[in-house]
């Protein structure tokens, strides 16, 4: 199943690294099945951290599981309205996302059209695969940032650098990881700002 996406910019002639960013709990406050634009609240350091990543040459791509659609809590139109509002909030701070992708499916969803096993629900790689088809991305220099184990698993199976942020569900995720090597992130950061500093240092190092 092709992941849902809202928009994307044209690919540049030269491949660029990308940061694949979780949405809830990473860029915005976790509220649980966010359904309305007025619920969107950027985490305090989100604009500055994203501007730093853009300045370092990273493309900014949001990849988000939105099983609330399959569960019947809200519609795809609601998700698109939320993403439009998120985009406007970021643009006011000089940040322009390259793309937003979301997966509306869940294998136990109540809405039949979305009740399925799919290739786009994280940690499955479908959203990143779609981004690579849409944009000219250098995966070898790309990374995944998120607050859940599914974000870390997504990055690890594709060989990307993984960063767990301790916002949202991050602290709970870290406690549950234990000694499972397959879910261990490359870095654990208290904030998106710290994650951006790590990635910008990495890309500046020959």
Catalytic residue, candidates 22, 98, 134, 147: 22
Q: In the annotation, is 24 catalytic?
A: yes
Classify each residue of 121-144 as buried b or exposed e, where b means 16 or more C-beta atoms within 10 Å of its C-beta: bbbbbbbbebbbebbebebebbbb
Quote the distance between the C-alpha of residue 182 and its chain's center.
Answer: 19
Dihedral of the CA atoms 118, 153, 144, 31 (nearest 10)? 70
Whether a cis peptide bond, with omega within 30° of 0, leads into 125 is: no
Catalytic residue, candidates 24, 98, 147, 151: 24
Q: In the annotation, is 138 catalytic?
A: no
* Enzyme catalytic residues: 22, 24
């Amino acid at each position: 199943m092709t992941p849902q996406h809202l928009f994307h910019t044209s690919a540049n002639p030269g491949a660029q690294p990308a940061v694949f960013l979780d949405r809830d709990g990473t860029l915005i406050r976790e509220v649980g099945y966010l359904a309305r634009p007025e619920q969107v609240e950027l985490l305090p350091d989100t604009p500055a951290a994203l501007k730093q990543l853009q300045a370092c040459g990273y493309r900014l791509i949001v990849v988000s599981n939105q099983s609330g659609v399959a569960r019947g809590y809200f519609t795809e139109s609601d998700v698109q309205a939320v993403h439009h509002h998120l985009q406007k909030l970021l643009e006011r701070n000089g940040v322009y996302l390259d793309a937003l992708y979301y997966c509306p499916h869940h294998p136990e969803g109540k809405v039949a059209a979305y009740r399925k096993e799919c290739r786009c629900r994280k940690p499955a790689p479908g959203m990143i695969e779609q981004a690579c088809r849409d944009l000219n991305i250098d995966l070898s220099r790309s990374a995944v940032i998120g607050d859940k184990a599914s974000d870390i698993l997504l990055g690890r199976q594709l060989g990307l650098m993984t960063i767990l942020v301790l916002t949202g569900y991050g602290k709970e995720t870290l406690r549950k990881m234990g000694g499972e090597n397959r879910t261990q992130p490359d870095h654990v950061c208290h904030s998106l700002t710290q994650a951006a500093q790590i990635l910008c240092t990495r890309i500046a190092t020959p």
